[in-house]
Copies of this chain bind each other. A is one copy, B any other.
């Protein structure tokens, strides 16, 4: 088992290993928690791993209230959160009760939001079962639910007590879900780790086959990129914004398509493609790097164009982006493979042009 230490708040560990889910209960015994816990997962994950995790917790002395939420981004809202608050109250959780999020990004974000706000904050244990959650959403403390007007509009910063990543769960992950996680790994390479980018390029076939060794190597490196960035900027005052590469454009795509048509990582891939082309057309990103980026996304089977949307409707959706401050949108653009920066004061025409490349 590999441990990555995160120095935020009191500090916590990301534990990455193969077949470690059944060890979660004993691991939690180290933290002085109350016996009552709330285990949150979605219907598909609960069927696969709910019993295993529940048994592990119970054997370690915990009482487990198990709550299964519906699967899918469209349920990541205040109504579903409200059901989890009901479950927390019915289970009579107290301030040292852990909320365990077993699942992907939606489960982690929702259970995390409930953990951040129930009794003004409960210990949160992230047990991510998707590649996306393992290398991205479970790390860094961002938790949220969507609002009809935009993604993640309601949320908090709430660092977990522990992240417990079992790579074995990737074996049961649908291929499209593996791909959506891959987009974030590629993003981590582009913004901060040239060698990670080329590692993914050179090991793509093995990664797409969910080969343990290749995915483990990629996931651990990718975690370190994210940890390195959030440690320097927990509350997204500056540097952390580079993690949003592809996300400003990508959120607009998700928003216009109602969070249904594209998986998050697919929308991010479209966003990375748009941002990279814009960066190149502004004379920032070299042509060689642009070609490498587009080619890797395409070889991975991720979308880079052809959404059938209009630039105008995508531009309109930007107004609800959290990253808009005082009417000005900040964009993250790749400078080269391995480095991204935040740009302000871009012209509307540039942004429309970037959107046009994915329409």
Contacts and interface: CB of A to CB of B under 8 A. Distances in A.
A242 interface: no
A142 B78 CA distance: 21
A59 interface: no
B154 A95 contact: no
B156 A121 contact: yes
Interface in A109-147: 116-121, 142, 144, 147
Contacts of A85: 78, 147, 153-154
Interface string A151-172: 0011111000000000000000
A92 B319 contact: yes
A34 interface: yes
Given A92-B319, A92-B320, A153 B119 contact: yes
Interface string A73-95: 00000100110011011101011
Interface of A is mostly: mixed
A82 to B, nearest CB: 6
B157 A120 contact: yes
Contact of A325 (B96, B121, B154): B96
Contact of A156 (B95, B120, B325): B120
Contacts of A116: 156
A319 B319 CA distance: 45
A62 to B, nearest CB: 12
A92 B324 CA distance: 9
B94 A154 contact: no
Contacts of A322: 94-95, 119-120
A236 B95 CA distance: 11
A311 interface: no
A326 interface: yes
A291 interface: no
Interface in A305-336: 319-320, 322, 324-327
A120 B144 contact: yes
A122 to B, nearest CB: 11
A149 interface: yes
* In the A-B complex, the 8 residue pairs with the closest CB atoms: A89-B149, A34-B326, A120-B155, A119-B322, A94-B325, A117-B154, A94-B324, A89-B147
